[in-house]
């Protein structure tokens, strides 16, 4: 099997939460996100021999997931990919997660993608750029704009 995918089941266990968080952050509906996660791992299994090991496995999976979400959104005629799913990920404090989801959902999709990859999933700029097929400078500027927007929104929320 390809480098880094010696044990597909373990690779899936190691990465499913991150792929799920990413899918939920860019999908317009939770149904699309759930289906995208399943399809991502089906495609990863099917095309595991195409993984060359040039980048981290998670970056490869996110790239697949991104394409799947777009395909599913187009196929199911959901045009608005700017809505963030109401269910983000497991937490003991649902109110804080809901507030965070509301703040992040207001970001444009390109900023939201970079924020999720870098700030939540821990991708470095180069890996995020490679995953999204954009220049590193674009990753940096989108992340800076996303952080500025979130900071502004949080200040407004606290001022109320």
**Final residue before a domain boundary, out of 23, 55, 80:** 80
Provide the residue range defining the domain that includes 140.
92-160
Residue 22 makes CB contacts below 8 A (sequence gap 6+) with: 62, 65, 66, 116, 117, 121
As a residue count, the chain comes to 160
Q: How far apart (Å, rounded) are the C-alpha atoms in residues 154 and 39? A: 35
Q: What is the predicted pLDDT for the residue at 108? A: 92
What's the rounded Cα separation, in Å, for the pair 98 and 93?
A: 9
- Calculate mean pLDDT across residues 147-156: 85
**CA–CA distance, 143 with 113 (Å, rounded to integer):** 9
Contact (CB, 8 A) for 72 and 32: yes
In a domain? residue 86? no
Distance, CA of 144 to CA of 53 (rounded, Å)? 29
**pLDDT surpassing 70 at residue 117:** yes
> Domain containing 27 — which CATH number?
1.10.1740.10
Task: Return the pLDDT at 18.
Answer: 92
The SS3 of residue 71 is helix
In a domain, 85, yes or no: no
Considering the domain architecture, whether residues 67 and 1 belong to the same structural domain is answered as: yes
What is the average pLDDT score of the chain?
81
68 and 107 inside one domain: no
CB–CB of 38/17 below 8 Å? no
pLDDT tops 50 at residue 82: no
Is the domain of 98 the same as that of 158? yes
CATH number of the domain at 158, please: 1.10.10.10
Instruction: Give this prediction's pTM.
Output: 0.68
Whether the per-residue pLDDT at 6 is higher than 90: the answer is no
Query: Is the distance from CB of 118 to CB of 107 less than 8 angstroms?
Result: no
132: pLDDT confidence band, cut at 50, 70 and 90? very high
86 band by pLDDT with thresholds 50, 70 and 90: very low
Q: Supply the pLDDT for residue 38.
A: 94
Domain co-membership, 71 together with 26 = yes
40-65 tens-digit pLDDT:
999 999 988 888 888 899 999 999 99
- Quickly state the pLDDT bin for 150 (edges 50, 70, 90): confident
Task: Express each pLDDT in 23-33 by its tens digit.
Answer: 988 887 888 88
Banded model confidence at residue 16, pLDDT cuts 50, 70, 90: very high
User: What distances in angstroms separate CA 153 from CA 25, 111, 135, 147, one per listed residue?
Assistant: 18, 15, 27, 10
Which two three-digit tokens encode residue 109?
Answer: 């999709």
Domains in the chain, number: 2
Of 19, 140, 33, the closest CA to residue 81 belongs to 33
Whether 23 is covered by a domain: the verdict is yes
27 domain residue, yes or no: yes
């Amino acid at each position: 099997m390809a480098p880094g995918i010696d044990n597909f089941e373990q690779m899936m266990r190691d990465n499913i939460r991150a792929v799920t968080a990413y899918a939920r952050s860019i999908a317009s509906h939770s149904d699309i996100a759930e289906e995208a996660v399943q399809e991502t791992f089906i495609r990863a299994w099917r095309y595991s021999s195409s993984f060359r090991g040039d980048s981290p496995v998670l970056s490869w999976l996110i790239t697949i997931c991104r394409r799947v979400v777009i395909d599913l959104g187009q196929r199911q005629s959901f045009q608005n990919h700017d809505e963030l799913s109401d269910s983000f990920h497991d937490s003991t404090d649902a109110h804080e997660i809901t507030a965070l989801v509301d703040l992040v959902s207001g970001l444009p999709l390109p900023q939201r993608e970079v924020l999720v990859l870098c700030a939540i999933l821990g991708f470095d700029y180069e890996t995020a750029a490679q995953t999204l097929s954009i220049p590193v400078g674009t990753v940096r500027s989108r992340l800076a704009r996303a952080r500025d927007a979130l900071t502004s929104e949080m200040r407004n929320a606290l001022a109320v």
